[in-house]
Amino acid sequence: SLNKISIAIDGPAGAGKSTIAKLIARTMNLTYIDTGAMYRAITFKILRDRIDLSNEIKLLDFLNQTKIDIVNGEILLDDLLITEKLRTPEINHYVSNIAQIPIVRKKMVELQRRIAANHNVIMDGRDIGTTVLPNATHKFFITASIEERAQRRYNELCIKGFHQDLQEVQAEIEQRDKIDTERTISPLKKHENAILIDTTGMTIEEVTDKILSYIK
Ligand code: CDP
Ligand code: CDP
Protein backbone atom coordinates (compact mmCIF):
# COMPACT_ATOMS: atom_id res chain seq x y z
CA SER A 1 0.00 0.00 0.00
CA LEU A 2 0.93 3.68 -0.12
CA ASN A 3 4.13 4.78 1.66
CA LYS A 4 4.76 1.31 3.01
CA ILE A 5 8.44 0.48 3.44
CA SER A 6 9.74 -3.02 2.86
CA ILE A 7 13.44 -3.77 2.86
CA ALA A 8 14.79 -7.12 1.66
CA ILE A 9 18.25 -8.27 2.75
CA ASP A 10 19.53 -11.49 1.25
CA GLY A 11 22.91 -13.19 1.21
CA PRO A 12 24.88 -16.24 2.36
CA ALA A 13 25.55 -17.36 5.94
CA GLY A 14 27.63 -15.01 8.08
CA ALA A 15 27.33 -12.04 5.72
CA GLY A 16 25.96 -9.92 8.59
CA LYS A 17 22.33 -9.83 7.47
CA SER A 18 20.60 -10.23 10.81
CA THR A 19 23.00 -7.99 12.77
CA ILE A 20 22.61 -5.17 10.28
CA ALA A 21 18.88 -5.67 9.71
CA LYS A 22 18.29 -5.37 13.48
CA LEU A 23 20.23 -2.09 13.64
CA ILE A 24 18.38 -0.64 10.66
CA ALA A 25 15.04 -1.74 12.11
CA ARG A 26 15.85 0.15 15.29
CA THR A 27 17.06 3.26 13.45
CA MET A 28 14.07 3.40 11.08
CA ASN A 29 11.47 1.96 13.42
CA LEU A 30 10.67 -1.05 11.23
CA THR A 31 9.51 -4.54 12.17
CA TYR A 32 12.46 -6.93 11.83
CA ILE A 33 11.70 -10.40 10.51
CA ASP A 34 14.46 -13.02 10.68
CA THR A 35 13.19 -15.59 8.15
CA GLY A 36 16.16 -17.89 8.82
CA ALA A 37 14.95 -18.21 12.42
CA MET A 38 11.60 -19.46 11.08
CA TYR A 39 13.32 -22.26 9.11
CA ARG A 40 15.41 -22.98 12.18
CA ALA A 41 12.28 -23.20 14.37
CA ILE A 42 10.69 -25.77 12.06
CA THR A 43 13.96 -27.71 12.00
CA PHE A 44 14.09 -27.62 15.81
CA LYS A 45 10.61 -29.14 16.06
CA ILE A 46 11.21 -31.76 13.33
CA LEU A 47 14.33 -32.95 15.18
CA ARG A 48 12.69 -32.81 18.61
CA ASP A 49 9.60 -34.75 17.51
CA ARG A 50 11.52 -37.05 15.15
CA ILE A 51 9.20 -36.26 12.24
CA ASP A 52 9.43 -38.62 9.26
CA LEU A 53 10.29 -36.36 6.31
CA SER A 54 9.62 -39.04 3.70
CA ASN A 55 5.87 -39.05 4.38
CA GLU A 56 4.48 -35.91 2.73
CA ILE A 57 0.96 -36.29 4.11
CA LYS A 58 2.23 -36.59 7.68
CA LEU A 59 4.60 -33.70 7.12
CA LEU A 60 1.77 -31.49 5.86
CA ASP A 61 -0.26 -32.46 8.90
CA PHE A 62 2.67 -31.62 11.14
CA LEU A 63 3.11 -28.23 9.44
CA ASN A 64 -0.58 -27.45 9.86
CA GLN A 65 -0.31 -28.21 13.57
CA THR A 66 2.69 -25.94 14.01
CA LYS A 67 2.38 -22.31 15.01
CA ILE A 68 5.24 -19.89 14.48
CA ASP A 69 5.02 -16.26 15.59
CA ILE A 70 7.50 -13.43 15.77
CA VAL A 71 7.00 -11.04 18.67
CA ASN A 72 9.51 -8.22 19.21
CA GLY A 73 12.08 -10.11 17.17
CA GLU A 74 11.67 -13.25 19.31
CA ILE A 75 10.53 -16.55 17.81
CA LEU A 76 7.60 -18.35 19.38
CA LEU A 77 7.08 -21.98 18.43
CA ASP A 78 3.64 -23.20 19.51
CA ASP A 79 3.59 -20.26 21.97
CA LEU A 80 6.96 -21.19 23.50
CA LEU A 81 9.90 -18.81 23.32
CA ILE A 82 12.72 -20.69 21.55
CA THR A 83 14.99 -17.97 20.11
CA GLU A 84 17.89 -19.19 22.28
CA LYS A 85 17.66 -22.77 21.01
CA LEU A 86 17.97 -22.04 17.30
CA ARG A 87 21.63 -21.34 16.65
CA THR A 88 23.15 -24.72 17.56
CA PRO A 89 25.56 -26.80 15.43
CA GLU A 90 22.86 -29.49 15.14
CA ILE A 91 20.29 -27.11 13.65
CA ASN A 92 22.99 -25.55 11.42
CA HIS A 93 23.61 -29.04 10.10
CA TYR A 94 20.02 -29.91 9.19
CA VAL A 95 18.29 -26.61 8.41
CA SER A 96 19.20 -26.28 4.70
CA ASN A 97 17.93 -29.76 3.96
CA ILE A 98 14.61 -28.99 5.60
CA ALA A 99 14.40 -25.54 3.97
CA GLN A 100 14.44 -27.10 0.51
CA ILE A 101 11.22 -29.07 1.07
CA PRO A 102 8.50 -27.39 -1.07
CA ILE A 103 5.65 -27.54 1.49
CA VAL A 104 7.92 -26.18 4.21
CA ARG A 105 8.82 -23.18 2.04
CA LYS A 106 5.21 -22.63 1.01
CA LYS A 107 4.11 -22.35 4.63
CA MET A 108 6.98 -20.03 5.62
CA VAL A 109 6.56 -17.70 2.63
CA GLU A 110 2.81 -17.37 3.33
CA LEU A 111 3.54 -16.43 6.91
CA GLN A 112 6.27 -13.95 5.92
CA ARG A 113 4.01 -12.23 3.38
CA ARG A 114 1.19 -11.99 5.89
CA ILE A 115 3.46 -10.16 8.35
CA ALA A 116 4.77 -7.85 5.61
CA ALA A 117 1.25 -6.95 4.54
CA ASN A 118 0.55 -5.29 7.90
CA HIS A 119 3.87 -3.74 8.87
CA ASN A 120 6.77 -1.70 7.62
CA VAL A 121 9.35 -4.46 7.52
CA ILE A 122 12.98 -5.26 7.11
CA MET A 123 13.27 -8.96 6.35
CA ASP A 124 16.46 -10.98 5.95
CA GLY A 125 16.93 -14.38 4.36
CA ARG A 126 17.78 -16.01 1.06
CA ASP A 127 14.74 -15.47 -1.17
CA ILE A 128 13.26 -12.22 0.14
CA GLY A 129 14.03 -9.97 -2.84
CA THR A 130 13.37 -12.69 -5.40
CA THR A 131 10.30 -14.45 -3.99
CA VAL A 132 8.86 -13.30 -0.67
CA LEU A 133 8.76 -9.55 -1.37
CA PRO A 134 9.25 -9.09 -5.12
CA ASN A 135 7.88 -5.55 -4.76
CA ALA A 136 10.10 -4.57 -1.83
CA THR A 137 10.91 -0.86 -1.82
CA HIS A 138 14.62 -1.61 -1.22
CA LYS A 139 16.65 -4.73 -2.00
CA PHE A 140 20.16 -5.54 -0.83
CA PHE A 141 22.38 -8.56 -1.34
CA ILE A 142 25.21 -8.65 1.16
CA THR A 143 28.13 -11.02 1.19
CA ALA A 144 31.77 -11.39 2.32
CA SER A 145 34.62 -13.79 1.58
CA ILE A 146 34.04 -17.35 2.82
CA GLU A 147 37.07 -17.04 5.14
CA GLU A 148 35.69 -13.92 6.82
CA ARG A 149 32.17 -15.31 7.13
CA ALA A 150 33.56 -18.49 8.71
CA GLN A 151 35.71 -16.48 11.12
CA ARG A 152 32.70 -14.35 12.17
CA ARG A 153 30.60 -17.46 12.83
CA TYR A 154 33.47 -19.20 14.62
CA ASN A 155 33.88 -16.24 17.00
CA GLU A 156 30.16 -16.27 17.68
CA LEU A 157 30.08 -20.03 18.45
CA CYS A 158 33.08 -19.66 20.80
CA ILE A 159 31.30 -16.95 22.76
CA LYS A 160 28.26 -19.22 23.07
CA GLY A 161 30.45 -22.07 24.35
CA PHE A 162 30.23 -24.38 21.34
CA HIS A 163 33.56 -25.93 20.43
CA GLN A 164 33.89 -26.43 16.70
CA ASP A 165 37.15 -25.69 14.93
CA LEU A 166 37.38 -23.00 12.28
CA GLN A 167 37.76 -25.47 9.38
CA GLU A 168 34.68 -27.32 10.53
CA VAL A 169 32.66 -24.09 10.73
CA GLN A 170 33.83 -23.08 7.25
CA ALA A 171 32.96 -26.49 5.77
CA GLU A 172 29.50 -26.36 7.34
CA ILE A 173 28.84 -22.88 5.90
CA GLU A 174 30.09 -23.95 2.45
CA GLN A 175 27.82 -26.98 2.52
CA ARG A 176 24.81 -24.87 3.53
CA ASP A 177 25.54 -22.20 0.89
CA LYS A 178 25.77 -24.94 -1.74
CA ILE A 179 22.39 -26.46 -0.83
CA ASP A 180 20.78 -23.00 -0.59
CA THR A 181 22.18 -21.88 -3.96
CA GLU A 182 21.44 -25.08 -5.86
CA ARG A 183 17.96 -25.96 -4.61
CA THR A 184 15.09 -25.94 -7.12
CA ILE A 185 12.65 -23.70 -5.27
CA SER A 186 13.62 -20.07 -4.62
CA PRO A 187 17.38 -20.61 -4.33
CA LEU A 188 19.73 -18.05 -2.82
CA LYS A 189 20.25 -15.56 -5.63
CA LYS A 190 20.81 -11.83 -5.99
CA HIS A 191 17.74 -10.18 -7.50
CA GLU A 192 18.78 -8.18 -10.56
CA ASN A 193 17.66 -4.93 -8.88
CA ALA A 194 19.29 -5.67 -5.52
CA ILE A 195 22.26 -3.56 -4.47
CA LEU A 196 25.31 -5.77 -3.94
CA ILE A 197 27.52 -5.03 -0.94
CA ASP A 198 30.70 -7.00 -0.31
CA THR A 199 31.29 -6.52 3.42
CA THR A 200 34.73 -8.17 3.53
CA GLY A 201 36.87 -6.04 5.83
CA MET A 202 33.95 -3.77 6.76
CA THR A 203 32.74 -3.16 10.29
CA ILE A 204 29.08 -3.54 11.24
CA GLU A 205 28.79 0.23 11.48
CA GLU A 206 30.28 0.79 8.03
CA VAL A 207 27.87 -1.67 6.42
CA THR A 208 24.89 -0.19 8.27
CA ASP A 209 25.81 3.36 7.21
CA LYS A 210 26.26 2.26 3.62
CA ILE A 211 22.82 0.63 3.50
CA LEU A 212 21.20 3.62 5.21
CA SER A 213 22.82 5.94 2.66
CA TYR A 214 21.08 4.03 -0.14
CA ILE A 215 17.72 4.15 1.61
CA LYS A 216 17.78 7.89 2.33
O1 CDP B 1 22.28 -16.87 10.10
P2 CDP B 1 22.63 -17.78 8.96
O3 CDP B 1 22.88 -17.00 7.71
O4 CDP B 1 23.67 -18.77 9.26
O5 CDP B 1 21.36 -18.66 8.67
P6 CDP B 1 19.85 -18.25 8.75
O7 CDP B 1 19.62 -16.94 8.09
O8 CDP B 1 19.40 -18.42 10.14
O9 CDP B 1 19.20 -19.35 7.82
C10 CDP B 1 19.33 -20.72 8.12
C11 CDP B 1 18.95 -21.52 6.90
O12 CDP B 1 17.57 -21.36 6.62
C13 CDP B 1 19.66 -21.14 5.60
O14 CDP B 1 20.91 -21.76 5.44
C15 CDP B 1 18.66 -21.62 4.55
O16 CDP B 1 18.79 -23.01 4.32
C17 CDP B 1 17.33 -21.40 5.24
N18 CDP B 1 16.66 -20.16 4.80
C19 CDP B 1 15.97 -20.17 3.61
O20 CDP B 1 15.97 -21.19 2.92
N21 CDP B 1 15.28 -19.08 3.20
C22 CDP B 1 15.27 -17.97 3.93
N23 CDP B 1 14.56 -16.92 3.51
C24 CDP B 1 16.00 -17.92 5.14
C25 CDP B 1 16.71 -19.02 5.55
O1 CDP C 1 22.64 -13.14 9.47
P2 CDP C 1 23.95 -13.54 8.86
O3 CDP C 1 24.19 -15.00 8.88
O4 CDP C 1 24.14 -12.97 7.48
O5 CDP C 1 25.13 -12.88 9.73
P6 CDP C 1 25.07 -12.31 11.23
O7 CDP C 1 24.58 -13.37 12.13
O8 CDP C 1 24.39 -11.00 11.26
O9 CDP C 1 26.61 -12.01 11.48
C10 CDP C 1 27.53 -13.05 11.83
C11 CDP C 1 28.54 -12.51 12.80
O12 CDP C 1 29.43 -11.61 12.14
C13 CDP C 1 27.93 -11.73 13.96
O14 CDP C 1 28.59 -12.17 15.14
C15 CDP C 1 28.28 -10.30 13.66
O16 CDP C 1 28.51 -9.54 14.82
C17 CDP C 1 29.55 -10.42 12.85
N18 CDP C 1 29.74 -9.35 11.84
C19 CDP C 1 30.94 -8.70 11.76
O20 CDP C 1 31.83 -9.00 12.55
N21 CDP C 1 31.17 -7.72 10.82
C22 CDP C 1 30.23 -7.40 9.93
N23 CDP C 1 30.47 -6.44 9.03
C24 CDP C 1 29.00 -8.06 10.01
C25 CDP C 1 28.79 -9.05 10.97
pLDDT tens sequence across 126-184: 999 999 999 999 999 999 999 999 999 999 999 988 888 999 999 999 999 999 999 99
H or E segment to which residue 45 belongs:
helix 35-48
202 lines ligand 2 (CB under 6 A): yes
State pTM to two decimals. 0.96
CB 135 within 8 A of CB 6: yes
Q: How far is CA 203 from CA 23, 79, 104, 152, 199, in A?
A: 13, 36, 34, 11, 8
Q: Is 161 annotated as a binding residue?
A: no
* pLDDT given at position 198: 98
Q: Does the beta carbon of 199 sit less than 6 angstroms from any atom of ligand 2?
A: yes
Q: Does residue 194 surpass a pLDDT of 70?
A: yes
Ligand nearest to the Cα of 143, by number: 2
Mutate to test the pocket of ligand 1, among 109, 180, 199 (most ligand atoms within 8 A of CB): 180
Averaged pLDDT score across all residues of the chain: 95
CB burial of residue 153 (10 Å; 0-12, 13-18, 19+): buried
How many other CB atoms are found less than 10 A from the CB of residue 1?
A: 5
CA separation for the pair 56, 62 (Å, rounded):
10
- C-alpha 116: how far from chain center: 15
| Ligand 1, CB within 6 Å, residue ranges | 13, 18, 35-37, 39-40, 95-96, 99, 125-128, 176, 180
53 CB-near residues (< 8 Å, 6+ apart): 46, 59, 98, 101
Query: 180 C-alpha to center of ligand 1: Å?
Result: 8
Q: What is the pLDDT of residues 26-63, one digit of tens each?
A: 999 999 999 999 999 999 999 999 999 999 999 999 99
Amino acid at 201: G
What's the one-letter identity of residue 17?
Answer: K
For residue 215, how far is its CA from the centre of ligand 1 (angstroms)? 24
Backbone angles phi, psi at 192, to 5 degrees: -60, -30
From the list 70, 188, 75, 177, the residue with the least C-alpha distance to 131 is 188
Closest listed ligand to the CA of 158 = 2
45 pocket-lining for ligand 2 (C-beta < 6 Å): no
pLDDT tens digits for range 77-105: 999 999 999 998 899 999 999 999 999 99
Nearest CA to ligand 2 atom 20: 152
Distance of CA 203 to the CA centre of its chain: 20
Give the pLDDT band (50/70/90) at residue 2: low
Contact present, 165 and 172 (Cβ < 8 Å): no
Closest CA to ligand 1's atom 20: 99
Question: Hey, whose CA ends up nearest to atom 6 of ligand 1?
Answer: 36
Q: Are 197 and 209 in contact (CB under 8 A)?
A: no
